[in-house]
Amino acid sequence: MHDETNANDWWRHGVVYQVYVRSFADGNGDGTGDIAGLRSKLGYLNDLGVDALWINPWYSSPLKDGGYDVADYRSIDERFGTLEEVEQFIAEAHELGIKVIADLVPNHTSDQHRWFQEALAAAPGDPARERYIFRPGKGINGSEPPTNWTAVFGGSAWERVPDGEWYLHIFDPSQPDLNWEHEDVRAEFDSIFRFWLDRGIDGFRIDVAHGLVKDLSFPDVAEQAVILESERSADHPFWDRDGVHEINRRWRSVLDEYDNRMMVAEAWVAADRLPLYLRPDEYHQSFNFDLLDTDWDAGLFAAVIERSVTAANAVGAASTWVLSNHDVMRHATRYGLPAGTKWRSWPMVGPHEVLDQEAGTRRARAAALITLSLPGSTYVYQGEELGLPEVWDLPEDVLDDPTWERSGHTEKGRDGCRVPIPWEINGPSFGFGSGAPWMPQPASFAALSAAAQAEDPASTLSLYRRATALRREHLAHVEAFELVDLGAGVLAYERGANMLVVANMSTEAISLPEGTVLISSDPSQGQLIQPDSSVWIAR
Ligand code: NOJ
């Protein structure tokens, strides 16, 4: 039992483990991960010392975008299991003191959602279309899209239907955007929140929290280059518009009808806009992706960490730390690429020989001891505790991410971080399930499997287990944080009077400060801290 997770504000200092259910564990042998598999691994997750689980969408879905295309928000996809199994899972997690965060997708539905099917069956101008964003086109016979907006996965953000109207989808055409100006939409989501809250869900991760509100004057955008959302201008027609805050407040008031529940925003917005999402009547927390976008450099890390802690403190929130998730290249590989590599599109354009996987793995271990020792909550993406690398060489014919098709086969997409987890050293899917997995695993996964690492004190799995236990013992509820200058290339900070964290991100070994080493990312830790390693020192 992890008593501290029962305290109010459990989300402020927890370790949240992200489960991409499709690739976590397959309980029924059909090659796809499921709730039965997840339940069978609760003991593993408890031993790993996580406080909460965030489960990627488990709802009925055609899985065109890995489940972020929801056909029915109140039922579980049959490939994943049943609502009853989910209820059992929530109860079992709670027995272990582990909270459960569901993933809610309010920006768009699947094109298979009942509402969208009704909209398609209706004529232009029919009220059924108003729950989405349908518009006539421009040009001769309306054959041009209503605006020049581009979709995140590539191509136009508009799709034409047979009667000539166009509908908006800022992701895939199979993900039509809801019209959040419509009261039906708002009321429906209030009800969906309550549905899951009544089933014991402790929190929600809100997908595309910064995208719900559109500029309904439909201006063209000047900039068509593909750039990060966080770099887009404040007055973008669909990113980070001020109207989202009213919706945030409405949801918050629903959550506040229940005890001790939370919501975390996936909001890729500029650093100075993020605190707006964290006002006391809005989100409890927001993902902070800044560290994920930072090269392996002590000065850059220190600046991002200091800025994040200060910004969170200023609004009374706790920061979050994320190195990997199901949308980005795994950090064990990212850190093995030369500084400055444009890793989001790297696998298709860069020479693979530049990858130094050994350095990537060493740095990923050191990075874990950084994020697990910072104030706030730390998100761990499934498999990072095994040190899994990105599988960058998946053959083209197995690619599943819509990015691959929508980019005209120029961007491989996100499948390389979604490869099924290896649990055992042998077997048709390294213990993922009893048969072949939905996405092939590389042979290198055998040595990285949980079974191969479980008893090895030098393994990455052992490192994570020890770090979460030490975090509970020494850092639970400690919010104090102060950077310490130990020279160029070294990231160091105190966490209260008794703990010093040192990450040597330089190329030279440095001497070990006084105190007792609680944990080191370097299994052969001696009197020096080697390059690319981190230590926690008790004083
Ligand atoms: C963000 C999710 O993390 C990503 O996987 C998904 O493709 C988009 N939102 C669209 O829902």
Query: In DSSP terms, which residues pair with 19 in a beta bridge?
Result: 55
The pLDDT of residue 9: 86
Q: Which atom in ligand 1 lies closest to the alpha carbon of residue 325?
A: 3
**Is the CB of residue 415 below 6 angstroms from any atom belonging to ligand 1?**
no
Q: Which atom in ligand 1 lies closest to the alpha carbon of residue 108?
A: 11
Q: Nearest Cα to 57, choosing from 110, 115, 112? A: 110
Confidence of residue 230 (pLDDT cuts 50, 70, 90): very low
Q: How many CB atoms lie within 10 A of CB 74?
A: 13
**What percent of the chain has pLDDT above 70?**
95
69 alpha carbon – ligand 1 mean position (Å): 9
Residue whose CA lies nearest to ligand 1 atom number 4: 327
Q: Which of 107, 171, 405 to mutate to test the pocket of ligand 1 (most atoms within 8 A of CB)?
A: 171
Three-state SS at 196: helix
pLDDT for residue 347 is more than 90: no
Cα angle for residues 241, 247, 249 (degrees, 5° grid): 115
The whole-angstrom separation of Cα 343 and Cα 362 is: 18
**Is the CB of residue 251 below 6 angstroms from any atom belonging to ligand 1?**
no
67 alpha carbon – ligand 1 mean position (Å): 9
Q: What would the pLDDT profile of 425-439 be if each residue is shown by its tens digit?
A: 999 999 999 999 999
pLDDT for residue 349 is more than 70: no
Residue whose CA lies nearest to ligand 1 atom number 5: 327
**What percent of the chain has pLDDT above 90?**
87
The whole-angstrom separation of Cα 450 and Cα 446 is: 9
54 alpha carbon – ligand 1 mean position (Å): 14
The pLDDT of residue 341: 87
Confidence of residue 177 (pLDDT cuts 50, 70, 90): very high
- Residues belonging to the active site: 207, 257
Q: Nearest Cα to 323, choosing from 225, 390, 257, 274? A: 390
Q: Which atom in ligand 1 lies closest to the alpha carbon of residue 414?
A: 5
Of 233 and 517, which is predicted with more confidence?
517
Q: Which atom in ligand 1 lies closest to the alpha carbon of residue 402?
A: 7
Q: Which of 207, 229, 326, 344 to mutate to test the pocket of ligand 1 (most atoms within 8 A of CB)?
A: 207
**Is the CB of residue 20 below 6 angstroms from any atom belonging to ligand 1?**
no
Residue whose CA lies nearest to ligand 1 atom number 6: 68
Q: Which atom in ligand 1 lies closest to the alpha carbon of residue 171?
A: 10
**Is the CB of residue 208 below 6 angstroms from any atom belonging to ligand 1?**
yes
For residues 418, 419, 421 and 422, what is the CA-based torsion angle, rounded to 10 degrees? -160
Confidence of residue 234 (pLDDT cuts 50, 70, 90): low
When the pLDDT of each residue in the chain is averaged and rounded to a whole number, the result is 94
| Rounded average pLDDT over 250-262 | 97
Q: What would the pLDDT profile of 470-483 be if each residue is shown by its tens digit?
A: 999 999 889 999 99
pTM confidence score = 0.96
Residue whose CA lies nearest to ligand 1 atom number 10: 68
Please tell me the total number of residues recorded for the chain in this structure: 539
57 alpha carbon – ligand 1 mean position (Å): 10
**Is the CB of residue 51 below 6 angstroms from any atom belonging to ligand 1?**
no
| Rounded average pLDDT over 375-380 | 97
The whole-angstrom separation of Cα 341 and Cα 352 is: 12
Q: Which atom in ligand 1 lies closest to the alpha carbon of residue 208?
A: 9
The set of residues, in sequence order, having a beta carbon less than 8 Å from that of 12 and lying 6+ positions away, is: 285, 318, 376, 377
**Is the CB of residue 207 below 6 angstroms from any atom belonging to ligand 1?**
yes
506 alpha carbon – ligand 1 mean position (Å): 35
The pLDDT of residue 5: 38
**Is the CB of residue 327 below 6 angstroms from any atom belonging to ligand 1?**
yes
Q: What would the pLDDT profile of 33-84 be if each residue is shown by its tens digit?
A: 999 999 999 999 999 999 999 999 999 999 999 999 999 999 999 999 999 9
The set of residues, in sequence order, having a beta carbon less than 8 Å from that of 284 and lying 6+ positions away, is: 11, 203, 262, 263, 264, 278, 317
Q: What would the pLDDT profile of 480-507 be if each residue is shown by its tens digit?
A: 999 999 999 999 999 999 999 999 999 9
Confidence of residue 327 (pLDDT cuts 50, 70, 90): very high
Q: Which atom in ligand 1 lies closest to the alpha carbon of residue 68?
A: 11
354 alpha carbon – ligand 1 mean position (Å): 29
**Is the CB of residue 337 below 6 angstroms from any atom belonging to ligand 1?**
no
**Is the CB of residue 401 below 6 angstroms from any atom belonging to ligand 1?**
no
The pLDDT of residue 137: 98
| Rounded average pLDDT over 23-32 | 98
Q: Residue 241, Cα to own-chain centre: how many angstroms?
A: 22
